[in-house]
Amino acid sequence: MTQSATKQLLDLYREQSALEDYQSGVPRWCTGCGDNAILAAVQRLCRDEGLRPEKTVCVSGIGCSSRFPHYMKTYGFHGIHGRAFPIAEGIRMARPDLTIFVNTGDGDCCSIGAAHWIHALRYNMNMTVFLHDNQIYGLTKKQASPTSPLGTKSNTTPRGSYLQALNPLTVSLGVSNVSFIAQAVDWIPETLFDIIHAAYHHKGFSFVRVIQRCPEWLPKALDPWLQDPARVQLVHHANGIQIGQGLSRVYKNQIEHDPLDIHRAREIASDTDLIPVGILYRNPDVPCYEDTRQSGALRTVGAIQKNFEAELDKYSV
């Protein structure tokens, strides 16, 4: 039986996806690890948005976070330590048609890959980025990371870490061309999903820092915030995320903040006593590097040959 192309196309979009369509293998993360929450949220997003698994690529560096692509039934690139961003940028430049997620950790992004992180913000290429920030190196077994709070005891800092923690939000908000900065926590899956959803729909480099627990190495580090919901500050706005009633009953510390206001975003991000959760900054008008770089020239055989011959003419003797 033959079908018209239009009908086939419509059928294609009628396909229903299930969570299983995006699941691959059994995650080998520890029980209670925040990575599981991010994986569940991303798989839900894929299902809800009906993303084609073959058109989706998850890119990561090295670390616990970076095992992420192995657990997605999409294309994936589990790269090398710190280099997830440039790999993802190369994929984006070659393939405007793919959906790209990047998973990176606090060591991967804020330490060994810090240079790439700054420049990735500046390139503003269209991809959705999750900084799995558990404030500790997990895979290498408990060393202080750049985001470890001052005094964190670890295998390399047995008497406590020596430096103030780096704040990924204020750093990101200081880079020109930044276009989307949000923060989520692994223990509020509802807002985690809403933020991921907004990040996915933002065209540009959507950077989501997810503060997450490491039950193995720093089991109590986030207790002060977990046990005192008032220290979690929900950031909402008509152009940001909205907060449901159920959530409002627990998290009473809420502020309204227009995500276009970068100065206020920096202020909110600077408060390290509270954990702000929500979209801190979103500017849909920042150009994407891949669009800026597209010349619009057709790469046909004829065009390539014509240009090649013209170049040879210049050097003829």
Which spans of this chain sit near another protein (rule: CB under 8 A)? Answer: 24-25, 52-55, 57-59, 69-70, 72-80, 83, 85-95, 97-98, 115-116, 118-119, 293-299, 301, 303-305, 307-309, 311-312, 315-317
The nearest distance, CB 186 to another protein, in angstroms, is 23
Closer residue to another protein (CB): 90 or 160: 90
Q: Tokens in use for 228?
A: 């005192």
Q: CB 85 → another protein: shortest distance, Å?
A: 8
Integer Cα distance of 286 and 282 in angstroms: 9
| Six token digits for residue 56 | 């989706």
Q: Are 207 and 180 in contact (CB under 8 A)?
A: yes
Cα–Cα distance between 317 and 314 in angstroms, integer? 9
Nearest residue (CB) to another protein, 270 versus 305 = 305
CB atoms < 10 A from the CB of 273, how many? 8
Cβ-based nearer residue to another protein, 83 or 213: 83
Tell me the closest approach of the beta carbon of residue 74 to another protein, in angstroms: 6
Q: Which is nearer to another protein, 54 or 228 (CB)?
A: 54
Q: 262: Cβ–Cβ under 8 A, 6 or more apart, which residues?
A: 173, 178, 281, 283
Instruction: Give the shortest CB-257-to-another protein separation in angstroms.
Output: 31
Task: Please spell the DSSP secondary structure of 191-224, one letter per residue.
Answer: HHHHHHHHHHHSSSEEEEEEE--BTTTBTTTTHH
Minimum distance from CB of 310 to another protein (Å)? 9
| Other beta carbons within 10 Å of 113 | 24
* Nearer to another protein among residue 72 and residue 275 (C-beta): 72
- If the CB atoms of residues 61 and 276 are measured against another protein, the closer one turns out to be 61
Give the type of residue at 273: D
Instruction: Please report how close the Cβ of residue 113 comes to another protein at its closest, in angstroms.
Output: 9
Between 75 and 187, name the residue whose CB sits nearer to another protein. 75
Closest CA to 76 of 52, 46, 101: 101
Residue 274 burial class via C-beta count within 10 angstroms: exposed 0-12, middle 13-18, buried 19 and up? middle
- Provide, rounded to whole angstroms, the least separation between the CB of residue 106 and another protein: 19
